[in-house]
Amino acid sequence: MRSDLVYPAVRKVPNRYLLCQVASKATRKFHRPNTRVQDTMNQILEKFGQAEAQGWMSAPPALARLERQAA
């Protein structure tokens, strides 16, 4: 089940909105033709769940402010 993949990923990226954005971008980037999008998304969530929490997941306040202005 995908929820089994989401819960470990949420522990690594506590901001659920950021997790959804990064997972969707990664899915688009790594998706291969003639494969199911669901399988690609499951692989991405597995990688997030296994990854170490790193500083790149939290944007600096100035960058976050610029992203809000651009949106």
In degrees, to the nearest 5, what angle opens at C-alpha 28 toward C-alphas 15 and 12? 25
pLDDT digits 0-9 by tens, 12-30: 777 888 888 888 898 889 8
Task: Give how many domains the chain has, as a whole number.
Answer: 1
Provide the 8-state DSSP code for 52. Answer: P
Does pLDDT of 36 surpass 90? yes
The pLDDT assigned to 61 comes to 56
CA distance 8 to 59: 21
- pLDDT at res. 34: 92
What residues make up the domain containing 20?
Answer: 2-70
Q: Which residue has the tokens 């669901």?
A: 38
pTM for this structure? 0.62
- Give dist(CA 23, CA 43) in Å, integer: 10
Euclidean distance between CA atoms 12 and 50, whole angstroms: 9
